[in-house]
Every structure is written in structure tokens, then in C-alpha cells.
Amino acid sequence: MSKTIIGIIVATVVLYLWGFLFWGVSTLPYAAWKQVANDEQTQEMLRQNFPESGTYFIPGMNHDADELVGLYEKGPVGFVHISLAGRSQTDLTVMIGGLLLNLIVVALMAGMFRVAGAKEFRDFARLSLAAGAVAVVAIDGGDLIWWQIPVEWKVWQAIYDFSLWIVAGHILGIFMKQQAEQAS
């Protein structure tokens, strides 16, 4: 059990560092983002048109059916997540939240491997590949279809999400495999 806990901690830290490299150091994913003509004017427009922080779909669902159809066809259609309060670009609560999320994901993966009866390293590798593929197709693919998130942005999230499963699964396999050998 102690090797599993050490594996969870190591995998959590490695994922955190991988996320920092992928999202923080690399600028490749952000090439998919578009740039507005004027950030300050756009921020002011957002303050004027979005009454509170939250998620908005435009056109909103509060129109009668015929009007909603017309608004959809006329366009534009948008999906906006907005926080009206400013924050630091490197908000410490976001960083801590990301670390805790990694810890929870890795601990759940360790539980999945245990329930699946993974014993050899190849079991961990296969399960992480399969589960990662299912998760990416279901979640990232769903975002592409249901929420119309542009492919050029979503592909970067899918690459990261799949790599998370591979990295964590292989690291856990190193630690949990050793424990399985000792138990037999």
C-alpha cells in the first residue's frame, strides 16, 4: 500500500510538471485562439452585456421557439464563460486546485487499476491507453459535437487529456506493479 501512495504522489507531481510544460511553457496550444481587435473595449462590452459571472449561451434559451430558431440562423452563436472580477494571470488558487485535481484523478486511477486486477506493467499500460482513449472520445469528442467547441482548440485539450492518462498510468504501473509482485 505504501508503494501505491508513493506512486500516487509521484504521478501527481509529474502530471503537475507536465501540465506546466504543456500549458505554461509551450505556446503551441494557444495558437488556436483568436484575438479580438481591442481587448479593453471588448472587456467593457462584456461588463455591459453580461450581468453576472457564469456561463452563457447566445442566443439564450429564454426566447419562444420561432424566435430562437431565427436567432440561431441569423447568428452569431456563442458559448461564453465569464468571470467579471479580475484575477492574477497566475492565480495561486487555480494552481493549488490543479494540483488537487491531479491528486484526485491519480488516486481514482489507482483505484481503477486495483479493481481491474492489474498486476503486470503491461496491464497498467493497456488500461491507461484504453481508459484514456474512452475518456478523450467521450469528453473531448462530446465538446466538439454538443458544444461546437472549435477543433483547433479542442485538439490541444484532447492531446493533453490523453497524455495525462498515459503518463499517470505508466507511473502508477511502475509503483503498483512492484507491490503486486511482492504480494504474490
The DSSP code sequence of 64-95 is: -HHHHHHHHHH---EEEEE--S---TT-HHHH
Report pLDDT for 177: 93
pLDDT at 1 over 90: no
Report pLDDT for 86: 86
What integer is the mean pLDDT of 60-78?
A: 95
pLDDT at 180 over 60: no
pTM value > 0.85? yes
What integer is the mean pLDDT of 113-141?
A: 97
pLDDT at 20 over 60: yes
Mean predicted lDDT score pLDDT of the chain: 94
- What residues have CB less than 8 Å from 103, skipping those under 6 apart? 8, 12
pLDDT at 2 over 80: yes
